[in-house]
Amino acid sequence: MKLKIALLPGDGIGPEVIAQAVACLQAVEDTFGHQFIFSKAPVGATAMDETGDPLPEDTLALCKRSDAVLFGAIGDPRYDNDPNAKIRPEQGLLRLRKELGLFSNIRPVKVFPTLISNSPLRKEIISGTDFVIYRELTGGIYFGEKYRSEDGSTASDLCLYTEPEISRIAHLAFKAAKKRRKKLTLVDKANVLESSRLWRHVVTKIGESYPEVALNYLFVDNAAMQIILNPSQFDVILTENMFGDILSDEGSVIGGSIGLLPSASVGDKYSMFEPIHGSFPQGAGKNIANPIASILSAAMLLDHFGLKEETDAVVKSVNLSLKNGIVTPDLKAKSQYGTDDVGHFIASHISDADDYRGLNRENIGLGKSTII
């Protein structure tokens, strides 16, 4: 398969983790005989430094002529602590989601058995966790009208949803549930918000055409509690933009590190793949960032294009690195392995993760074969 992939590494640790995801995709090209054409473009604070715009026209144009976008991270402390900043790096990501029509953000939350002791939650609570969040991504309070009074003392953000916006992601979530354990939980705040009552109405109606899927409802405050009390009760969670943002960070705690969670954002025409973690500016340039969330995002890209065997090979190789403790310090405090060691290990075992018998640890950092 020939795929044009736009690379938007972005800020902070973005470039380091994207480099490892690309190394893995190149290993997939070599192993399975595909052709991936990579083109890089700036976004976020990096793009603001170069052009003044967090989403330059050329970057958007590149994304539109590519088959998929692989995105790193966005955000810079120079803007985080300045409430008066007129332009922010995050606006680049939000505009990109809107311009590409990426209305559905898919965030799987799974516990890797080898990492069960990394979670701050007890083993018996988290074992068996395997759910996926369908977060609406181009509507709601993120994109509603914003207002600030002239004297600056009053502000508002409008949370607006229309029936078509809800129904298009609801169908995707029901279809996903049908292929999984056939349970869909709509998370909202229908006891207070009118927009949530619209979500309930639309989703309930759509649910009638998916009789095999059991639909239930949770208020978001209760859902936040249930996710850490009993995460294995969930299969597919469907929710609006901001609730999904918050719950997916909460979900990342279950697996022991936010550095493990990938995501896919899809629309009718375009698709983008990105780790759910932020730009971790304190870690930038130190070779300590966990590349696994980006590598698994690349695996979601392969899956999106129907490349099942290739997806499995990447996931197996990631599991191999976890099993052998070839991990960054977020997963093992005194780990001697850096971002590039972990990425190199995973990339170099994409072709043979099944046959792997043992490793020569001395070679990991040297870019040589790690097979004994």
Residue whose C-beta lies closest to ligand IPM: 90
Sole binder of ligand IPM in the list 276, 289, 295, 320 (CB under 6 A): 276
Residue 152 tokens, joined: 């600056």
Active site residue 142: yes
Beta bridge partners of 238: 134, 186
Asked if residue 76 binds ligand IPM (CB under 6 A), the reply is no
Q: Output 8 or 359, the one with its CB closest to ligand IPM.
A: 8
What backbone phi and psi angles, to 5 degrees, belong to 216? -135, 170
Piece in contact with Mg ion (CB under 5 A), picked from 98-106, 125-133, 180-188, 239-247? 239-247
Q: 144 near 159, Cβ under 8 Å?
A: yes
Under the binding rule (CB under 6 A), the answer on residue 310 touching ligand IPM is no
Task: State yes or no: is 245 an active-site residue.
Answer: yes
Which residue has 């899809």 as its token pair? 266
Active site residue 221: yes
**Is 337 noted as a catalytic residue in this protein?**
no
Residue 37, SS3 per DSSP: strand
For the bound state, the minimum distance from the C-beta of residue 245 to Mg ion, rounded and expressed in Å, comes to: 4
* Least CB distance to Mg ion at residue 244 (A): 9
Segments of the chain assigned E as strands:
2-10, 35-40, 68-73, 104-110, 130-136, 146-148, 155-157, 183-188, 214-219, 236-239, 262-266, 271-275
240 binds, among ligand IPM, Mg ion, none (CB under 5 to 8 A by kind): none
Amino acid sitting at position 187: V
> What does R_g of the chain's alpha carbons equal in angstroms?
21
Q: Does the protein bind ligand IPM through residue 307 (CB under 6 A)?
A: no
Q: Which residue pairs, CB below 8 angstroms and at least 24 apart, start in 225-228?
A: 227/251, 227/254, 228/121, 228/125, 228/253, 228/254
Q: What mask of x and - would describe binding to ligand IPM in positions 79 to 108, judged by CB under 6 A?
A: -----------x--x---------------
CA distance readout (Å), 161 to 8, 93, 194, 204, 208? 29, 20, 10, 16, 21
With CB under 5 to 8 Å by kind, the binding choice for 72 among ligand IPM, Mg ion, none is: none
Among 245, 274, 310, 330, binds Mg ion (CB under 5 A): 245
Closer residue to ligand IPM, CB minimum distance, 136 or 310: 136
Determine if 74 is a binding residue for ligand IPM (CB under 6 A): yes
> Residue 241's closest CA among 214, 220, 260, 268?
220
* CA–CA gap between residue 281 and residue 278 (Å, rounded): 9
**Residue 184: what are its φ and ψ, rounded to 5°?**
-125, 130
- Which among 120-128, 133-141, 238-246, 327-335 is the span making contact with Mg ion, rule CB under 5 A? 238-246
Active site annotation includes 147? no
Convert residues 275-294 into a mask of x (bound to Mg ion by CB under 5 A) and - (unbound): --------------------
Interface with ligand IPM (CB under 6 A), residue total 6
DSSP 236: E
Among 53, 136, 245, 341, binds ligand IPM (CB under 6 A): 245
Tell me the closest approach of the beta carbon of residue 289 to Mg ion, in angstroms: 17
Task: Tell me the closest approach of the beta carbon of residue 28 to Mg ion, in angstroms.
Answer: 28
Residues assigned a catalytic role: 142, 189, 221, 245, 249
Residues that bind ligand IPM (CB under 6 A): 74-75, 90, 93, 245, 276
Report the interface residues with Mg ion, using CB under 5 A: 245
